[in-house]
Amino acid sequence: MAFISKSSCLLIFFFLVAAALPHLSSAYLKLPLLRKNPYPPAPSEALSADSRRVSALHRRRRHFHTKFPVTSAASSGSGQYLVSLHLGTPPQRLLLVADTGSDLTWVTCSACRRHCSSRGTFFPRHSTSFSPYHCFDSSCNLVPHPREHVQCNHTHLHSTCRYEYAYSDGSVTRGFFSHETTTFNSSSGDLVLFQHLSFGCGYNNSGPSVSGPSFNGANGVMGMGRGPISFFSQLGQEFGHKFSYCLMDYTISPPPTSYLLIGGAERYKLSYTPLLINPLSPTFYYIGIQTVFINNVKLRISSSVWGIDELGNGGTVVDSGTTLTFLTEPAYRIILAAFDRLVKLPKSVEQTLGFDLCFNVSNELRPSLPRLSFKLFGGSLFAPPPRNYFIDAADGVKCLALQSVAPSSGFSVIGNLMQQGYTFEFDKDRMRLGYSRRGCAVP
């Protein structure tokens, strides 16, 4: 509740430059999603992603009782989806990772004033509308602060609000919590100004998620989590508290253009599953897995392995910023064994790619692979095609793109590879996640 009352302090102004929106409830923002990084992830990256993830989960526990368990898997692999954002006056274009697993929106900032090279950095000194929050501002309470944060001096004019935001793999962004004007192309082609976007101006960003090769091409993160500072929560007030996206299917050539839609109504029938709340992790979108099937045969996995325990561990989150899918250990082993039993292809001689199960498909034109499906809370069936969980890890080698997590310290993640080719709609007011194989073409 404290979050909500604080978030109302973020005064949000919104208006159209060119035309008035007829009905805000039916209005939406349409932002094209791009995919910069090569697909599939290089085996070495997938491997390091796995080890990063493991250490990340340990780290997460330590943070558990802090006010903001600001953990995200902003990058557990190389495949990221990017959104373009125009920040400042005049607008500066930046590419941000669309991340449903974190809240803070931040950009790489530079204090450069003159003769600045303009690639991938926001220059606050080139913007007339940039303003850092004062540390005494109530908005400053919405972000985690660095440990060495000095006591806020009410009277000191230049005590800016410093933030430090950590991701689950240990990556950190540090800088000034600020606000700015941001500009979008609206669904009707008009320019939309959003005058008061709160974001992190990141001067000191380190770690693989925010500076390594998997961040390649990105200039920051657009936090789409459910917490009060997320981009979605800030704009949601104007757009009916829901957003949707379809992540492009890269096996289709040429890949269809897809969009991140904030607001807007679905145009086709969706299957729904409830969004669950974990009070200890207010950022994440949790869903519930009831049963797992392979080739329509129900696996013997106790439903209790998917639950969230009293310490807030476990559960399953939907994260657009994580590439691979992570499943809790007892379930993972059973699924792995079932695939091992059902796939009749020769094993790849190289099993060292960071995956537990790889097949040699060099002699197969169209290898037949078993179908994995999840029955979710509410009864709907999520049955993605095999290309969402088998990846071409090398020439003629297909690997099961699942990883395991320890149930006591981690949580399961439905990553973006598993989501591709589907439209997902996150509806905060109705507390549900909708999904459909349709809607991935132009909305």
Which of 72, 78, 183, 436 is close enough to bind ligand NAG by CB under 6 A?
183
Which of 6, 61, 63, 86 is close enough to bind ligand NAG by CB under 6 A?
86
Residue 185 binding ligand NAG, by CB under 6 A: yes
Question: What is the Cα–Cα distance from 77 to 169, expressed in whole angstroms?
Answer: 11
Question: What is the Cα–Cα distance from 414 to 322, expressed in whole angstroms?
Answer: 8
Question: What is the Cα–Cα distance from 194 to 184, expressed in whole angstroms?
Answer: 8
Nearer of residues 110 and 273 to ligand NAG, judged by Cβ: 110
Tokens of 189: 């082609």
Please calculate the CA angle 251-322-140 and round it to the nearest 5 degrees.
Answer: 140
Residue numbers 190-219 binding ligand NAG by CB under 6 A = 204, 206
Minimum distance from residue 47 beta carbon to ligand NAG (Å): 16
Minimum distance from residue 84 beta carbon to ligand NAG (Å): 7
Residue 149 binding ligand NAG, by CB under 6 A: no
The answer to whether residue 99 is catalytic is yes
Nearer of residues 186 and 380 to ligand NAG, judged by Cβ: 186
Minimum distance from residue 186 beta carbon to ligand NAG (Å): 9
Which of 360, 373, 380, 409 is close enough to bind ligand NAG by CB under 6 A?
360
Residue 304 burial (10 A CB sphere; 0-12, 13-18, 19+) = exposed
Residue 435 burial (10 A CB sphere; 0-12, 13-18, 19+) = buried
50, 103, 169, 319: the active-site residue: 319
Which of 350, 406, 408, 430 is close enough to bind ligand NAG by CB under 6 A?
350
Nearer of residues 131 and 360 to ligand NAG, judged by Cβ: 360
Rg (CA), the chain: 22
Which of 1, 349, 365, 442 is close enough to bind ligand NAG by CB under 6 A?
349
Question: What is the Cα–Cα distance from 360 to 362, expressed in whole angstroms?
Answer: 6
CA pseudo-torsion sign 342, 343, 345, 346: negative
Whether the Cβ atoms of residue 170 and residue 59 lie closer than 8 Å to each other: yes
Residue 351 binding ligand NAG, by CB under 6 A: no
* 337: Cβ contacts below 8 Å, ≥ 6 apart: none
The answer to whether residue 319 is catalytic is yes
50, 99, 169, 427: the active-site residue: 99
Q: Which of 425, 377, 315 is nearest to 438 (CA)?
A: 425
# chain residues binding ligand NAG, by CB under 6 A: 19
Nearer of residues 174 and 387 to ligand NAG, judged by Cβ: 174
Question: What is the Cα–Cα distance from 437 to 427, expressed in whole angstroms?
Answer: 18
Catalog residues that contact ligand NAG under the rule CB under 6 A: 86, 91, 153, 155-156, 174, 183-185, 204, 206, 348-350, 360, 362-363, 396-397
Task: Supply the residues annotated as catalytic.
Answer: 99, 319
